[in-house]
Amino acid sequence: NKNKVSKEIMHITDWLPTLFHAAGGKLEDLGEIDGVNQYETLFGRKVSGRHEMLHNIDDISGYSAIRVGDLKYVKGTTLYGYLDNWTGKIRQPKEIPIPMYNISAVLNSEVSMAFKSTGQVLTSDTGIQVLREQTRVMCKEHKKETGKMYPKCSPLKKPCVFNIRKDPCEMRNLFEELKDTGVVKDLENRLHRLRRTMKPANNQRTDLRANPRLYNNTWVSWDDYDSPTTANSVLINSHSPLLL
């Protein structure tokens, strides 16, 4: 299959039906699921069967976000908006040079060798450079062509809308431009319909038994053990790879 960069919409839930189909399974055996089979899309034979993506509905914190087509709608936020800022471009300190991408290491990697053993070649030096250039995300400016700034996204005050395909860095809030066109209402209606199908949140209180400090600074399935002492004994004797 030709190496390429796909810009089709895909959600993590799509992997289940996609890989299940690739393995020869019948999709109807999966029952009613959220994922979409993207097998033909990955091979470039058809456009994505997914036209929307529900990012989140959190009625406890009052936060929700959805993408339909190219537009993403965001309402509410987390941590009282403490992190609701665009941090700007990442500037590499002059004293720390940007490391070169080791193309040779990729072409001579175990994965590449495995492909070659089957008569397939991943790509070439030039091919890797072209693909990397295609994956670069280019951020738009906050300013409009007229020189005026786009309205700041303040989702605690009012929703925000972004064109993700044209503005992947979410710097151009289009809510004010679109709020009277019916587009925003359509996004809100779709979010409302999905909200009616959601299950009640099952958030649990913080359990102090989960603190990694109790388990030799190790993340473990803490509720599987009677006590931290038992857990530490099991982890040490099993030579667990998670033991730090």
- Vertex 22: Cα angle to 20 and 28 (nearest 5): 45
Which phi and psi (to 5°) does residue 237 adopt? Answer: -70, -25
Confidence of residue 96 (pLDDT cuts 50, 70, 90): low
Report the percentage of the chain scoring pLDDT > 90: 42
Mean of pLDDT values over 158-170: 93
pLDDT of residue 86: 74
Task: With cut-offs at 50, 70 and 90, classify the pLDDT of residue 22.
Answer: very high
Lowest pLDDT segment from 39-48, 142-151, 185-194, 196-205: 142-151
Q: Residue 224, Cα to own-chain centre: how many angstroms?
A: 30
118-144 tens-digit pLDDT:
888 778 888 888 888 888 888 877 777
Label the pairing between strands 160-163 and 52-58.
unpaired
Mean pLDDT value across residues 39-51: 88
Q: Contact at 8 Å (CB) between 68 and 164? A: no
Cα 184 vs. chain centroid, distance in angstroms? 23
Q: Range with the lowest mean pLDDT among 66-70, 90-94, 194-198?
A: 90-94
Confidence of residue 242 (pLDDT cuts 50, 70, 90): very low
- pLDDT category of residue 101 using cuts at 50, 70 and 90: confident
Q: What is the pTM of this model?
A: 0.76
Spans of all domains in the chain: 208-238
Question: 243 falls in which pLDDT band (50, 70, 90)?
Answer: very low
